[in-house]
Amino acid sequence: MGRFGQRLGVHAANGGDGQKSGLDPRCALPARTFDVPTSGREARSLPENALLVTIDDGYRDLQDIALPMLSQVGIKPVIFPRLPVADGYPAWAPLDLLYVGRALNGADSAVPSLEWRECLLPLPLEEQLMMVRKQFGNIPEEVLSAERKRLYLSDQELRSLSTATVGTHGIEHIRWTTLDANTLDETLRRSLRWLEEIGGLPIAAYPDGACSTDVAARVAAMGFQAAFTLNSTPSSVPSAYAVRRIVMPDNPEYIAKVIKPTKENAA
């Protein structure tokens, strides 16, 4: 399963007929999953035990493993890739660079401690990348560039996906709570333009799940209709901009038990 299992999340909703998703009015909701197609206009109430499957970061095994697996059980997930840079691929997420760099040098690529992560992730992006590069030493840039293109789907590949709905994870993989107002607004504007170009939806996943009242207010003001987190958020954040997800374990059998076909979504 690789990175698919690490990045796959679900949002569970146990609501009655009157509960709404808070997502775009184009949402259609099968019995056990939110299916977010690109057509249709009427919002529907959530069925009991509904699930929305989301996958962050736009890794290549999304296309190779996750989407075929989910398609078999009638699920069209929402994916949250980051925007492409000049060469058509996303820039490195610092932790991804760490794992790949250490693997190239034959080092143990185990997940770093929570303490180390929390020292890293609040830093400005350039400082994160410098801190990460110290962990694996000198690797030629052309080698790292080739590995980045192997790891992530390109802009063109994302545009051609037909079995997933696309939202945004921003441009750089850095917590939006650490950005100044101008940088955050530019990130949101560019993300919305890109989503409009490719036929995506105006929904976002906060990098590292980091959300605050101010960030959620900017996301809403810029025109996003929903935003997803991994953590608890301040009570002042509207629920549509604090949709909390559960990270699924990297275990295909466990995922298959949670995400199983029904008569409605397997048809």
Written as six digits, the tokens of 105 are 């040098």
Amino acid 261: pLDDT: 52
**Both structure tokens of 8:** 């796959």
Q: What pLDDT is attached to residue 2?
A: 36
CB distance 37 to 75 below 8 Å: no
What pLDDT, on the 0 to 100 scale, is given for residue 125? 93
pLDDT value of position 219: 96
pLDDT in tens, the chain (267 residues): 333 333 445 454 433 333 333 434 333 333 333 443 333 334 455 566 667 888 999 999 989 888 998 888 788 889 999 999 999 999 999 999 998 998 888 776 556 788 888 899 999 999 999 999 988 888 999 999 999 999 999 999 999 998 899 999 999 999 999 999 999 999 999 999 999 999 999 999 999 999 999 999 999 999 999 999 987 778 888 888 988 887 777 776 766 666 555 444 444
Q: Are 169 and 82 in contact (CB under 8 A)?
A: yes
Q: For the whole model, what pTM was predicted?
A: 0.79
Domain 3-88+153-258 has CATH 3.20.20.370: yes
CB-based burial of residue 60 (10 Å sphere; 0-12 exposed, 13-18 middle, 19+ buried)? middle
> Identity (one letter) of the amino acid at 48?
E
Contact status, residue 234 vs residue 206, Cβ threshold 8 Å:
no
Indicate the domain borders of the chain: 3-88+153-258, 94-149
Q: How far apart are CA 255 and CA 218, in angstroms?
A: 34
DSSP result, 136-172: T----HHHHHHHHHHHB--HHHHHT--SSEE-B--SS
Please give the pLDDT value at position 33: 38
Phi, psi of 133 (to 5 degrees): -65, -30
Q: Which residue, among 196, 231, 228, 184, has the nearest Cα to 78 in the 3D structure? A: 228
**What is the per-residue pLDDT for 69?**
85
Distance between first and last Cα of the chain: 25
Supply the pLDDT for residue 22: 40
Q: CA torsion sign, 100 to 102 to 107 to 111?
A: negative
Question: Residues, the chain, total?
Answer: 267
Give the Cα separation of 91 and 111 in Å (integer). 20
DSSP labels for 178-231? GS-HHHHHHHHHHHHHHHHHHT--SEEE-GGG---HHHHHHHHHTT-SEEEESS
- CA distances 98 to 64, 90, 185, Å, are 23, 16, 28
Angle at 32 between CA 51 and CA 262, to 5 degrees: 150
Measured CA to CA, the distance from residue 220 to residue 133 in angstroms comes to: 36
pLDDT of amino acid 204 = 95
pLDDT given for residue 127 in this prediction? 95
